[in-house]
Amino acid sequence: MATFLYRLGRLAFRRRHFVALIWVALLTLAGVGAASAPAAGNSSFSIPGTEAQKAFDLLEQRFPGMSADGATARVVFKAPSGEKMTGKDNRKTVRHAVAELRDGSEVVSVTDPYTAHAVSKDGTIAYASVKYEVSGMELEDSSRDALKAAAQDARDAGLTVEVGGDALNTAPETGSSEVIGLAVAAVVLVITFGSLLAAGFPLLTAVIGVGIGVSTITALASALDLGTTTSTLASMIGLAVGIDYALFIVSRYRSELAEGREREEAAGRAVGTAGSAVVFAGLTVVIALVGLSVVNIPMLTKMGVAAAGTVAVAVLIALTLIPALLGYAGRRIRPAGQKSRLLGGGRAPRKPGRPNMGTRWASFVVRRPVAVLLLGVIGLGAAAVPAASLELGLPDDGSQPVSTTQRRAYDLLSEGFGPGFNGPLMVVVDAKDSKHPKAAFTRVGDEIKGLKDVVTVTPAAPNKAGDTATITVVPDSKPSSVSTEDLVHAIRGKGAGITAATDAKVLVTGSTAMNIDVSQKLNDALVPYLALVVGLAFLLLIVVFRSILVPLKAALGFLLSVLAALGAVVAVFQWGWLSGLMNVEQTGPVMSMMPIFMVGVVFGLAMDYEVFLVTRMREAYVHGEKPAQAVVTGFRHGARVVTAAAVIMIAVFSGFIGSSEAMVKMIGFGLAVAVLFDAFVVRMAIVPAVLALLGRRAWWLPKWLDRALPNVDVEGEGLRTAGDRRDADPDGQRELARV
């Protein structure tokens, strides 16, 4: 591996014009494809295997044109103080708004509050329900604009009007967050390298990689049913790893220059050593992202595969375009320890023999490994304690900021009709095999009325064939509550008895039931996903480090950091600790996608730091250093770079904490805290402490397994041998002949 990548690095350095032309051509081709591709909406959302999805599919068959999974909106009207919604003027205003709403091109139906009995008992609040033929994320902007315009006209007439439902749902915009992340990354890179040019390379190549990846996704969006959320994830992950991988190789290149090597040779060795770490780190990220397919949610699978493709592009760019750019830069990229004239006068450090911060920290850990290990484990363990109280759910309008119209509509409906009115359940009765369908419909309604936490049960509404009916159930509790979840399970629990007595099947669906099913599906998939990702990465790291204990330590450390990060998320977003500081207006269940999403993303980034830091230690050990000294050497060369990479990632993810979207805010906070814990507690403290305690045993591998495993030579031992041969062959003709 190291020898092949070494040759690739030297080739890219020498043939830099050709390499640069290839990447520019790929970027142009992807851009043209994206510009000429047909417009595509967001990916269709389906959850195969869940009861809620089965009910939706059944409704599509038995109620043609119903658009069971179409977007919905509730336009909520409140009369001015001292007035009633039944007043003549207010009634006229509402019916005018209803007429406006019916003119929408994607509208299936609009209910009139006065004929649908949608006025509160006190007469102060009323609502109109709007049904669309497409899902909320596929809705045209013109339909949303018409909805907002109708609401505004009613406001202008003197009513309080708010709009709830998923019709206003749009993909969160992250452009400003990415700009903030790039700005922080630029500052950190300049400080790390002491050179504007060297700092610019990781940013430039990361942007090129993301540009190719996102443009390709856009070009294929219509054909593969990819949505904007797919490109958002690919952009975030691609930017993160693209900067990291380029940072690793540029840093190693400058270290090779500092050892007196010629620039082409330094580029080859940088790609051969740090590039090997990049390849295997990239493979762990790809495994984590592609592994999302085990959840069996098509949208999540597509997001993972697309993001994995962007990561693969980032790896290829780091291995080829970075050495090509280093060839263009020439002597303007200075050896490690030297700064550019603009930032440091081009002079060498005043005290070149002084140990750097990484060396001093590693020396301290090696001297006090037990104390550092206990402190790190106990600290992360304490942070992980709240994770034992983790409650999963999906956000609804009740979790929106109070400044949004969705949240105000949610509150008005709760005020006028009760909290459960915001999350009605739809019970679908399939009586096709029943001899007495009407009796079955009646039996289902009666059974549900006798359950706890039920406020309203509407009469069954059968289809034209009379073999299927829908029943709307309004719970007493809010949609995201445990009581509502228990009610869904209770209704489903009655299904077996009803089927035995009437041969009719009972299915519960609706947005609330769908959220419950999605949360359960993600929760059930977490352990298999974790086993798959960690297991495959464990095998991969055995090949990289030729050790059993080092990969085991890496996996256990990752689990500890993820649990600690989940504990922090629970403490802030579920318990309300520091909620004011984080601007969390509404606490509640943690987003059900959070644990599995955090495992996938953080695992990839954590293994980046593990591979880059520990391969330096492995390299020093293979080249003859004692285990404790190898730990110090690894930190001397790698700690600064890993620290810079982690700070960049924390800054990128922290930029999302300021989002008004509760889900985006939670993701940003969780990922930032996870990287903080993993990089600075696990990789910088626990890892060197464990390696210091294990000594030579850390690198133990059974002889039979050593013979069976392929020798990938990540530490670059083959390059040292090649170097020895070149000393006897100054012109390098024999080596070039092999190339």
**What pLDDT digit, counting tens, does each position of 2-18 carry?**
788 888 989 998 999 99
pLDDT value for 383: 93
Between residues 615 and 727, the one the model is more confident about: 615
Q: Please check the confidence at residue 352 and state whether its pLDDT lies above 60.
A: no
Size of the chain, expressed as the number of residues it contains: 739
pLDDT of residue 155: 92
Note the pTM of the prediction, 2 decimals. 0.76
Angle (CA) 141 145 148, round 5°: 140
pLDDT at 204: 86
pLDDT bin (cut points 50, 70, 90) of residue 229 is low
Q: Largest Cα–Cα distance of the chain, in whole Å?
A: 101
The closest of 639, 634, 607 to 621, measured between CA atoms, is: 634
When pLDDT is cut at 50, 70 and 90, the band that residue 371 belongs to is very high
Residues 428-446: tens digit of each pLDDT: 999 888 888 888 888 988 8
pLDDT band at 71 (very low <50, low <70, confident <90, very high): confident
Confidence of residue 725 (pLDDT cuts 50, 70, 90): very low
**Do 381 and 393 meet the contact criterion of CB atoms below 8 Å apart?**
no
Greater confidence (659 vs 20) lies with 20
pLDDT for 214 beyond 90: no
Q: What is the CA radius of gyration of the chain?
A: 30
The amino acid present at 461, given as its one-letter code, is: A
User: Mean of the per-residue pLDDT values for the chain?
Assistant: 81
Secondary structure of 218-281 in HEC code, one letter for each residue: HHHHHHHCCCHHHHHHHHHHHHHHHHHHHHHHHHHHHHHHHCCCCHHHHHHHHHHHHHHHHHHH
For 546-591, write each residue's pLDDT tens digit.
888 888 888 888 889 889 999 999 998 888 888 777 767 667 778 7
**pLDDT for 259 beyond 50:** yes
Pair 635, 362: CB distance under 8 Å: yes
pLDDT per position as a tens digit, 269-306: 888 888 887 888 788 888 888 888 887 777 778 888 88
Distances (CA, A) of 730 to 253, 257, 405, 695, 722: 21, 18, 74, 39, 12
Write phi, then psi, for 74 (nearest 5 degrees). Answer: -120, 115
